[in-house]
Every structure is written in structure tokens, then in C-alpha cells.
Structure 1
């Protein structure tokens, strides 16, 4: 027995030593790819010595002899900190994920190949202006300089993930950067998914009810606010496929998780500082690391600082010493689904306006890890690429002997968007930036601008010109062979909405409707916000003058206009009307919940129970309203549409009929639905968050989910690479934290402001900014999540163009010298 015991001791000890050795070895190899920020390196491709000064938040401040050297260093810094992220973005847009991940990502690759975005980006290289071409080449050379250093200097393959997914990394090309900007257009566009869902829903219900469940924006267009005194004189049959959207690696998202953002500006008359103010917080899906990377570039036209996207030689949102710019998704209707009839006698032809026309075709081979390669036959019509029926649920709305083609402004082979963005970054006045935006194609954005004296908002991006007789006005798939459904070019840039130095002194956008125009100059029927704009307007009008701090307060505001409105409507006949009920009964829990909500001001604070009660209640209300009419399709309405709920409970145009369950004999009222849904919500809360209703926390459900797209679902590693934070806000607050809407944790925060910046041109160096995670994409770096806790608490870091401040607390200075 003693001998067995000793052997067990030896075995256990050996096992522990082996585990420790493996962990140590893994740490050693992973840590080899951590860059040395205090290095001096000889590199080819630069004209003079370059300094990359990293401040105490690891934001690189880049100083070079000319612009090409500065862009070279930006590419070098991006690759140092985000090489894996950059290669994944490139693989995604090239349709080459399956080389690493096998059949899991085949459908994603197929969709990207059919869009053909990467080849369109290669073709667009020759369309760029001379300065942009030079910047793209220099940036690519900087990325490749770091790749060469990784290959020659035993730097752990450049990123820890490279050890797990070993595959050669090809040199960076200018087309890679152009393609990543096109990929951003894909992620910001809700139009394809919305058209398909509208078409599928219209097959189940009549047009009156379709206007309820997928309503038009009922608000008037808002961008510039009126003069303050005039407003406040007293100062007061086909199986749907969800794989494309559900995979963490997928760039395709449901329309509810398309791009969003906030931006606003005040001119000198509405600013306490005597100069202009600008705030911007773009919203995208949360990831670890965030898509945003902070940088400062000292260009020949002046210093600029703000948020970049690794892979792009651009400050996408930021400021110089005299101009600030912010971006929001414009929700331009720049995509149409075209139903193309296939010749039954010759499947290689489709119907055109004048008869049968051959498809343009090409084969494309997708290599798949651990599986045979797949050859795709790619087809195009005059309207755009043909997509497979098993993608985006297109098969559910495509008639027999037809296929669907996608007309989309981003599918341009002369896409000059990156040149336009470069011009905006170099601009020094509002007017210069507006002129620079003329050649921007996609994604369509609202560009909010402020120089020292003026503010403006201009929609940039191509807006398709449709025929006034278009069958569906671009809202539903339509026959591509009919001339009236085909695009007729694009509207001139001068027709894009513009708001320049408005009399009221305040301008802004929360993805809300900006203009009231008749079709076809309408810009869009689908807008990204009908709710946040109401709270923003209230906050802007509540003060005669604003400061940097009041703009920060607005960015971080968590009061839900929607919750105030809907909780009052849903509970109108329930407040204080219940009979006395004993403890631990559904009636008593309902009374407690209603008592809490009756005294609540709509603040979606992470520490309160009321936001969770409200969110679960309104979600249950929507499901009870739609599931009998829509059946299985109701599961695809994952997020509450406040306009729909309000129409129903106010019985707008007879919408109250949704409250009656058509499959039951009794006639249910909206009060019945509200009461039953509240009970549903409270059961869900007690099962998932505890029986003490007063003690539940919104933040326990509304957890910010910054997941590593590749390793985030891997046991043990997910504890290292994922970032979780309890957060305030919600779907409809200015501090927006869009919930997932699906699965066992439907209130997780998955889509929020990955970057926040506030710029004060009375004292530009008092401007502030922050991102949602950190600068590094390396999980072992102390800069992997160094900004995340500041972001969660609503704090910022200084945003200065003063070189002395950057050097004073630098964590490292990388010196790049020309190779002899």
C-alpha cells in the first residue's frame, strides 16, 4: 500500500510539473510576440528617422519627415499591436476563412466570394488620387516591415493566435485597405436583411398590419435644432438559415445590429467656451480587442488624432488643431434585391429588358481545412452579383426559376471612398471637408464637422437614383428585368442632405431621420433611430449654452425616453388596480414590480432592478402580440420596436387588433396582454436572476460582451481573451448598449460605442477620448484592456496634440531609421 501511495505521489507531482511546464512554455511562446516599444530598428522604405512615441495609454504619436513616412509608421504600429485582427479582417473580405477554420466558415466565404468585394477593391486601386496612392503604398510597406521583423527576429509569429492557426501571412497590399473600408460598408448596412424580412412578413399579414410591425418612421426629419429662444423662452416554405449571422466570425449581422452612432456639435453661440464643440461615439459590435485603435499622426497639413481602424491609414473620427469630424451611419437606402428570371431553356441566361442575356460567370475555388476544396460558379447580372438562395434567407422570397442579384453602391470597381476620407482627414475647415466628401461612395455616413467658427453635417456616400415608378420604391425585392426597377445612376453630391451652421446653433444625429423628402429623393425609408433622438433633443434644449462636460454627460446619458413612454402605456390599466395578494404569489410579485416601475424615471442604471423588469416585460409583450400572427417568423423579430408597441397600445390605425389572440375564443384586450406578459417576465427573472425582485440588477443581465471572435468560445482560453463588464444603458439610450435579443441571455450588451470622443476648439488639448478595450490585441499585454474599465465607468483620457505631453509620460519610443 505504501508503495502504491508513493507512486501516486510521484505521478501527481510529475503531472503538476508537466502542466506547469506546458503553461510556462505556452506563455513563453505567446509572449515572444509582445512588441518592444523601446526599440530602434533599421527598415527599408523610409526617407528619414521616424519616432513612434507611445503615451501612458499606449497611444502612438507618430513623427516623421513627410507624410509617407508617417503612414509607414502607422502601418508598423498597427501591425505591432493588431496583426491578428488585421489578417482576420483581410481573410474575411477575401473569403478565405475556411483555410483556417474548415467547413464552419464555408458559407461566410461563399457569400464574400459572391459579393466579390476584394477583386473590386483591387480594381479600385487605380481610381485613387496621387496622395492616397502614396499613403496606401507607404502604409503597406510599414505593415510589411513589421512582418519582415517577425519572420527574421523570432517574434512569436506576430500574435499568439498564429501558433494555433499557423498559416503563412502574405504581404499587405493597398487593395487590402480599400477592401476593409468596403467591409465596414457591409457591416453598417441593414438593407438586405430588412428587405428579406419585410417580404417574408408581407406574405403572412396584410399591408395595414405590416405598417404596424415594420413601421415607417413617424417623426419629422431632425438634424439642426431651431433657435433656443423659440423653443424654451423660459429656459426649461424555405427553411431559414441563421448561420451567417450567428457565427462570431461573420461580418453579416441582423438589421437590429447594423451600424449606429451619435454625433453632435454646437457653434460658438451655444458654447460656454466661445468656440465650437463636437462629440462622436460610433457604435459597432463589441469585440476583444475593439475594432478601434487610437493614434496621432503629425502630417504636413498638421497634426490629427483620434480613432483608426487597423488596416486603414486613416483617422476615421477625430480632430486636428482646427477641425473635428465625427461619423454616424446615414441609413441611406443604397441596396436593392433584384429578382432575376432564368431562361428555362438555357440556365446560363437571365431576362433583361430586351430579352435573354448571358450571365457573366467565373469560377472561384475555396480551400477548406481538413476537407476537399469547393469550386463556386460566380454569376453576375447587369444589376449585380447573384447570391445563393440558401444565404440571407433569400430562398424564402425567390420564385421558382428565378435568382436574386444584389444592386449595392459599395460594389463599385472605382471606389474612391478612401481618397475622400483621406481628404477629410487633411482638411482644415468645414468647407474643405465637405468638398473632400464628394468622392465618397460607401459606407454612406453622416459627417458631422466643427472648425473653430462653424459646424455642419453632410451626408457622404452614393445615393442611388431610382425611377419614380419603381415597383416597390426599393423597399421590397423587385424584378430586375423591368426598366423602372433598375437604378439610373446616382444623385449628384449636391443633393445629399446638408445642414450648415444652422441658426439654432446645434446640429446632431443619432441615426434618426434627417430629411422629409418624397421618393425617390427620400434618402431612406429605414432609419436607425426613432427614440434616442427625443432624449438628445431634450438634453440639447435644456441648456442655452453647452460645455465639454455637458456633451460628455449627453454621451453617457442612460435615461430611456422609450421606457418612460412604453411602461406608462403598458401599465395604464394595471397601476394600483390589483387586489391584495399574499407573499410569494404571482399577484404579489406583479404588485411589487408595478410599484417599482411607477416611481422609476426610466434611467437604465446597471445597479437598479427596474430596467430589467421593464426590458423583460416589453420583450414579453412583443412576443405575445406577434407570435400567433407570425408563427415561427416571430422569432426573427428579436428586438422590441417601440413604434410598434406604441401603435398597438394607442390603437393607431386599428393596431390594437394585435392584442387579440386570433387562435383563441375569447377576445383579449391590450390590458390582458400587458398583465400576462408581466407575469411571463417575472417568471423569467426569478428563474434567471433570483426571486427577490427588488434585489435584481440590470447590470447582471446587461453585461458588455467583448469576445475574441476566434478564441472566445474555447474553454480556459476564453477566461484570458474575453472581457466582461456590467454596464448601464440599453437599446434606446444615448449611452447605447444594444442587447443581443437572442439565446438564454437576451439582454447582454453586444453592440455599443467602441469609441467616444469630445472635442473643444476653445482649448483643443482639453479634448478627451476613450475606446472600449485597449490598444493591444495581444491578450498578455497590459494594454489589452487598459481602457476598458475607464470606458465602463464613463471616463476618458486626454487627447492632446502637444508632443511634450506625449513624451512626458511615454511608455516607450520606437525609432525607425532608414536601412543603409
Structure 2
């Protein structure tokens, strides 16, 4: 009775809080989109015209005024998001969410992002334009913090607002760099498989490159212009629970004038990132004399990662190269504070850290470092074993010029200037996509790439036999994969394996050919592309590979074990053309069957925990189609039984299990097993984890078309429950037609504002799931004539 009473009191309190905020804070906590504001350090009056979707169009007399204003308007819509993003890399989430974030904070502190940031900021030149514009942007954020309303999330979590500094920008960049990494999920897992089961079990996992799949082809211009368990398992789970954006994949293609109806470049890009609320990108159109960009900004970073203007457009996909390696260290047999190096025995470096925990005492911990990086054992509780494993990460091991690269990309006037900025990107690895009004199309894999004796085995924990700091180990940027104005008249990327310029293959965690194959097939088939065609293509939900998986599996089905109803479902599946629309039943059956096929193939050898880890890797996605086509494999046998199973037994039993599970969930009429019942999208907010607040902070859920590894990539995890809640997908869809640049199109998954009291919190969400677009406005007269509101910033004395 006391427990029920206590729960009742909590519910009443939560409802009271909601009622108070609903009645009072709609006005006091809403962003201000019109009126006049004084902004210290502003040199001239600056006007911000908001369009009907809440996107600011900033017109300033100089760049610093423009970026100072950008900081203010960005903060008033996204301060909570900025606050979380700056805390991840510096290990400060426990201050907000308590001890549940302790392992996450320990992990990120041990990566050394904060230490690398301190070193970088100490070396900055205050006269560098990158620094000057960054500081102007921070001035705007801090002015909003000082005078603007406090976002509701700060009240609910009990934290205070605090000024932003240059360190916060670099800590956010560091988190962005790490969230691309797949090595921390894959390398220790594969080492564990090899150690536990033997190397023969790796033969069927397609660790090497399949020469028969679709590769990204290189081309340059003619010379016109010269561990035991997954080391980060708890971290991934924690960040997922917090609904923070993790970078997953992406599509992009740029079509040359020769293949378009109007004879101008068409640019398309949809980076795939974990869905969250607010969505990852903040859109802003920034204009000053000699500068203009319509950009997509991450919270707390002053320069856009995606952008366009009247002259050029650029975007990105994840390169998926391997920029993390794990190394076994050898501790001295008697002097435990020492480890072996090539030069002899060295002393482990000890790093002491303090983590502040909400409503608890500070937590002190120490971790060790070697020349390779931090020793991971003990940093996450599940990393066990006495043999030390160090993690080497490109981002912290090399000079950080990523912000200078973003500045250069943002300010480039042409292809040459743009390309000159790219070698400064050392990590994360990015496929940078480019198109311009002059008819150029280009793709560059931008990362610091290397080669040495370990290059073919980087997916395992290594014994170091190379000099990691040797300059000759690293490739010149000219040896990076790239294609500039290729004769096939388009460039594209779908996170798939690139071809080589340097005569080597680049280690990575590339995604399977599914999306790449579909993109290439569609682009090759037409030479008269227009904006409408591009809209249809970016929303395409057809898989070029899944029907072939069905055909391969069907070849091993023992139909004598199936009922007539089961055979009917199987025959319908064989007629499937790979569509994943809401009214299709085939994808529902397909994914049930594939899940049971994977479970019955791998789970007996791997065990429950390692099987879960395997399901979360890109390697798993690359394995499905090859395993479906193999006739012989060591994995077919179930090691928990006395008899030796065959592929036919695995495939047939898996189909029957899938069928029976669908009957249990939706009844025997297979026509009712439609995709809309199992494939849904909800945009989660960290506060939305509280059930009573979920509907207020979260957006959705919506039934959504698409699936894993189609162009409209709506990704989800296999976990056995048969419900496919989308976790990641297009973070925006952008189509830029240089034949009509001022009517280019974009869309956000939810809305422009992260403030739940804003009318722009979720006003694009239904459009997004329907595959609709809105204009990305560039015409100054049209913007001012149609503006919904005007916010004017005036200079004032400090």
C-alpha cells in the first residue's frame, strides 16, 4: 500500500510540473523569433529573417557579426543539445544523469579527447580566422545563456547554465570523430572469436574484400589545375539510451551535366545518423559581404558540415576506414609498472581523473597509458583479463586541423580551394561529396590513411611490429581514394569499399554493396535526370540484394517439412521484387526469417553476449548475403547437439520459426503481416525516457517505409522480438539542382527547434516520413518578402 501511495505521489508531482510548464512556460520559455535584441561586440545591426519552418536567414555587414548572431539563434533553439554534446567527450554526463553514466564518462575520459583538446586550444593563434569566427559564435551562445530563457531540460535535470569556451567546440568534434568508429565493436569481438573457436570460424565472415561487389571507382581530373567482450558495449548502450546522435552510414551522389535534363549538376545527400530529438542538424542561412552559405550545423560547432550556396554544394558520408587499432602490451614480469617497447622497457603513464556525479560523491579513477594509447582493461567493467590491451586512435595521435578544414570548406569559392582544405581532415574519415555551378562533380575520401605490416590484419588485437609514428607509414592525400569529373559522369558513396589509387586496399568497416548496387543501377539507367527524379531516388525503398538472399535460402528449404500455408508464404516471398512499402508483407517475413537464420547459425558458437555484439556490427550486415549463398560452412553445425546439422536444416527450421512467430503475433492470415505493423520510427529525447513525459518530449511513433540498407535507409537492430523500431536513418535529405539553385529541396526528420515549446519542434516530422520536401531558400528578396518574423540584433557596449 505504501509503495502504491508513493507511486501515486510521484505521478501527481510529475503531472503538476507538466501543468505548470504548460500554463506558464509556453510564452516564457519559447524561442524569440521576432523583435529587437542588443548583442555585445556586434559592430553593425544584423537582421534574422525566419522562414515558415523556423530556419534563420542571417544578413550581416561582416562575417564576425554573422557568426556571433548565428551563435545566439542556434543556442535559443538548441542549447540543451549543445550542452549534452560538449559533455560527452569531456566525461561530464554523470553531472547531469547520475551514476548510470559513470562507465560512459570513464570511457570517454580515457580516450583522451579532453587532453587532446587542451593541447590544441593551448596552441591556437588568436589571429587565425578559424579561431576568430569560432569565438564570435561562442560570444553569441554565451549572450543567450546570460539573457535568454533557460530550457526546460535544465530545470528537470537540475543543472545550471554555464558559458561555452573553445574547448567545448573541440570536445564536440572529438565526440563526432569517435561516433563514426566501428573498430571498438568489431576488433575485440573478432579476436575473441578467433581465440575461442579457432581461425577456421573467421573464414566465412568475409573479413577480406569481395572483388565481386560494387566498389567506388577512382578517377582524377586531367591536369587542368594542379579484448574480451566489446570494449565499448556499455558506452554504446548508454549513449543509445540518452538518444544522442551516433553516425551510422550515408548516401550521396552527384550527377554531372551530361546526365541531367537541364545540363546542370544535381547534388543529393542524406547522411545516416541515429535518430534523436532534437534532430542532429540545425539549418541556417548565413550571408555577409563576400560570404554566403546555407548550412547544416552540429550543436556547438560554428561551421557547417553540409552546405551550399549559388556556386557550389558539398556534403558527406562516412568513409568507414579503420582509424582505431588495439594492441596487446607486455608487462614486465617483476616490475609491474613497466611495459615492453621496441627501445626496451618503459613505464606506464598513470592518468588521474575525477568525475562529478549528480547527488553523489565525486568518483576518482586512474588509468594507464602506453605509447599506443590508454589501457582499456578495467575502464569498462566488462573488460576483463590480465593481458593489457591499449587502444590507438588516429584522432588523438595526430595534429588536429579539423576545424581549419571546415573553415576552408565553408569559405571555398571553387573546386581547387575546396580540395585544398581536405587534407587537414585526419579523423574521422569522411567521404566528401562536391558539385558546382561550373559542372564539376567530385568525391574525396578524406582521412589520414596509412600502410604497414599490420594493414591486412587490423580487425584483430595486434602485436605491434611497426613504427606508428614513421612519416613514410602515412599516405599523401593524393593517394586517397577519389574521383574527380570521371568519364561515367557521376560520383557516389554509400559507405561501401573504395577502389585503390595507392596500390593497396584500405582497412575499414565498410557496409555491404546493397545501397551502392541500387544507386549505381539507377544512375546508369538514365541520362536525363531532373529534380523530380532525384526526389524519387532519395526516397527509394527497393533492395537490389534481399530478393537474391531469398532465392539463395529457398534453394536449401526442405519443402516437405512445410505446411501448405507456409509454402504459400514462401512462394509469395520468391516473387518479391524487394519493395519495402507500408502495405508490403514480404519484408516482415524476410527479416523474421533472416534473424532466425542468423541466430541458428551463429548463436550456439558465440553465446548470447557475443551474438548480441555481432548483431551490432557492420560485419554482420556484410555477412548475411554471403552466408545465404554458401553451401558449406563450419557454422552450420549446432555445437550444442550430438548430430551434425546441415544448412538445409538451419534454413528450413528458421523459416518455420519465423512463420510461427508471425502467426503468434498477428494471426494466421498472412495478408495482415504488413510492414507498417512492425516498422516504426520514434524520435527519442533523453527526458522522454520518463514514461509520463514521453509524449511531451518524444516525436512519433510513425509507421515508416524503407528498411535496412536500401537508399531510404531506415535502420534497426535485430533483437528477436520481431518489432523493428528504427534507430537511425536520413538525418536530412538534400537535393540541390544547379539549374534552379534557389528552389533546392531539403527536409528535417522532426523540426528546426529543440525547444518543445516552439512551433517548429516537430513541424516537419510527418512530411519526413511521407518523403516530402520543403524549399531551402536562398533568394534574398523572396526571403524578406515571405519571412514569417524578423529578429534584429543591435550593437551595444560591453
- Mapped partners of 2:601, 2:791: distance in 1: 60
- Corresponding residue number in structure 1 for 2:579: 603
TM-score, with length taken from structure 1? 0.89
Change (3 A) 1:41 1:479: same
Instruction: Please say which of residues 529-538 and 272-281 is displaced more in the overlay.
Output: 529-538
Aligned to 1:243: 234
- Tell me which residue corresponds to 1:111: 107
State the Cα distance separating 1:132 from its structure 2 match: 0.5
Match of 1:805 in 2: 782
- Output aligned runs, 1:163-312, within 5 Å: 163-219=155-211, 222-224=215-217, 242-248=233-239, 259-312=248-301
Residue pair 2:218, 2:501 contacting (<8 A) in 1 also: no
Structure-2 residue corresponding to 1:503: 487
Q: Which residue of 2 aligns with 1:720?
A: 696
Provide, for residues 724-753 of structure 1, a one-character-per-residue CA deviation record: whole Å limited to 9, x for no partner: 121111112011011122364552110101
Give the drift of 1:238.
5.9
2:63–2:133 CA contact under 8 A, matched in 1 = yes
Give the superposition deviation at 1:104.
0.3
Deviation of residue 59 (structure 1)?
Answer: 0.7
8 Å CA contact retained: 1:704, 1:748: yes
Which of 763, 767, 770 is matched with 1:790 structurally? 767
Query: Are 1:102 and 1:369, in contact at CA under 8 Å, matched by a contact in 2?
Result: yes
Instruction: Encode CA deviations 1:307-328: one digit per residue, 9 max, x unaligned.
Output: 2112111221121111110101
Per-residue deviation, 1:779:
1.8
Whole-Å separation in 1 of the counterparts to 2:435 and 2:60: 27
Instruction: Report whether the alignment pairs 1:34 with 2:23.
Output: no
Q: Please give the TM-score of this superposition, normalised by the length of structure 2.
A: 0.91
Q: Is the 8 A contact 1:340 1:404 kept in 2?
A: yes
Q: 1:225 to 1:564 in 2, by over 3 A?
A: farther
Match of 1:429 in 2: 414
1:11 maps to which residue? none
> Would the alpha carbon gap of residues 16 and 791 (structure 1) be closer, same or farther in structure 2, given more than 3 Å must change?
closer
- Which moved further from structure 2: 783-792 or 341-350? 341-350
What is residue 131 of structure 1 aligned with on the other side?
129
Task: Report which stretch shifted further, 805-814 or 601-610.
Answer: 805-814
1:613 to 583, 589, 597: 589
Cα distance in 2, alignment partners of residues 249 and 615 from structure 1: 22
The CA deviation at 1:146 is 0.4
Corresponding residue for 1:231? none
Q: Distance in 1 between matches of 2:398 and 2:82?
A: 22
Per-residue CA deviations over 1:378-415 (Å, capped at 9, x if unaligned) read 432222223234539643xx5x3x32222111115741
Provide, for residues 694-744 of structure 1, a one-character-per-residue CA deviation record: whole Å limited to 9, x for no partner: 112212211113111x21220120111112121111112011011122364
1:692-707 matches, cutoff 5 A = 692-707=669-684
Structure 1 residues 412-423: aligned runs within 5 Å: 412=397, 414-423=399-408
2:345 counterpart of 1:356 = yes
Report the Cα distance in structure 2 between the residues aligned to 1:340 and 1:658, rounded to whole angstroms: 32
**Residue in 2 that maps onto 1:233:** none
SS across alignment from 2:563: helix
CA distance in 1: counterparts of 2:207 and 2:455, whole angstroms: 19
Residue of structure 1 in register with 2:549 after alignment? 566
Contact 1:127 1:416 in 2 (8 A): no
Taking the TM superposition and a 5 Å limit, the aligned residue runs for 1:332-371 are 332-371=321-360
Q: What is the rounded CA distance, in whole Å, between the counterparts of 1:351 and 1:197 in structure 2? A: 25
Match of 2:146 in 1: 148
2:602 alignment counterpart: 626
What is residue 582 of structure 1 aligned with on the other side?
Answer: none
What's 1:88 paired with?
84
Q: How far apart, in 1, do the equivalents of 2:366 and 2:390 lie? A: 14
2:396 match: secondary structure: coil
2:730 is matched with 753
TM-aligned CA distance change 1:245 to 1:272, over 3 Å: same
Equivalent residue pairs, number: 771
CA distance in 2, matches of 1:658, 1:615: 20
The Cα shift of 1:172 comes to 0.8
Q: CA separation in 2, counterparts of 1:202 and 1:110?
A: 28
Matches of 2:625 and 2:214, distance apart in 1:
20
- Verify: 1:648 aligned to 2:611, yes or no: no
Task: Give the deviation of 1:484 after TM superposition.
Answer: 5.5
Tell me, what secondary structure is at the counterpart of 2:724? coil
User: Judging changes above 3 Å, is the alpha-carbon distance between structure 1 residues 136 and 470 closer, same or farther for their aligned structure 2 residues?
Assistant: same
Q: Secondary structure at the match of 1:731?
A: coil
| Equivalent pair of 1:49/1:64 in contact (CA under 8 Å) | yes
Classify 1:431/1:239 alpha carbon distance in 2 versus 1 (closer, same or farther; 3 Å).
closer
**Which of residues 283, 308, 314 is equivalent to 1:325?**
314
Change (3 A) 1:221 1:594: closer
Structure 1 contact 196–393 (Cα < 8 Å) conserved = no
- Counterpart-to-counterpart distance in 2, 1:16 and 1:267: 59
- Change in CA separation of 1:18 and 1:533 when aligned onto 2, cut-off 3 Å: closer
Q: d(CA) in 2 for partners of 1:446 and 1:818? A: 41
Supply the distance in 2 between the matched residues of 1:300 and 1:250 (Cα, whole angstroms).
44
1:3 matched residue in structure 2: none
Give the match's secondary structure for 2:284: strand
Q: Distance in 2 between matches of 1:198 and 1:704?
A: 32
**Superposed displacement of residue 267, structure 1:** 0.9
Residue 351 of structure 1: CA displacement?
1.6
Is the Cα–Cα contact under 8 Å of residues 103 and 379 in structure 2 kept in the other structure? no
TM-fit CA distance, 1:73? 1.1
Q: In 2 relative to 1, CA 758–367 (structure 1 residues): closer, same or farther, beyond 3 Å?
A: same
Matched, 1:493 2:493: no
- CA gap of 1:21–1:499, structure 2 versus 1, over 3 A, is closer
**Contact 1:221/1:516 (CA < 8 Å) preserved in 2?**
no
SS of 1:386 mapped into structure 2: coil
List runs of 5+ in structure 2 lacking aligned partners. 1-9, 220-226
Residue number in structure 1 paired with 2:392: 407
Aligned match for 1:531, one of 514, 533, 540: 514
Deviates more, 1:783-792 or 1:670-679: 670-679
**Bigger shift: residues 681-690 or 696-705:** 681-690
User: What's the offset of the Cα at 1:573?
Assistant: 5.0
Equivalent position of 2:745 in the other structure: 768
Q: Counterparts of 1:455 and 1:670 in 2: how far apart (Å)?
A: 46
Instruction: State the Cα deviation string for residues 248-280 of structure 1 (Å, max 9, x = none).
Output: 4678999xx752000111111111111111100
Which residue of 1 is the match for residue 496 of structure 2?
512
Shifted more, 114-123 versus 484-493: the winner is: 484-493
CA apart distance, 1:61: 0.6
Cα distance, 1:675 vs. partner?
1.8
Aligned residue number for residue 450 of structure 1: 435
Partners in 1 of 2:402 and 2:14 — Cα distance? 51
Aligned to 1:557: 540
Task: Report the Cα distance in structure 2 between the residues aligned to 1:330 and 1:108, rounded to whole angstroms.
Answer: 25
1: CA distance, partners of 2:396 / 2:170: 12
| Residue 446 (structure 2) pairs with residue 460 (structure 1) | yes
Distance 2:679 2:729 in 1: 12
Alpha-carbon shift at residue 203 of structure 1 (Å): 1.8
Q: 1:424 to 1:66 in 2, by over 3 A?
A: same
Correspondence for 1:12: none
Q: Secondary structure at the match of 2:457?
A: coil
Match of 2:459 in 1: 475
The separation in 2 between residues aligned to 1:407 and 1:537, in whole angstroms, is 36
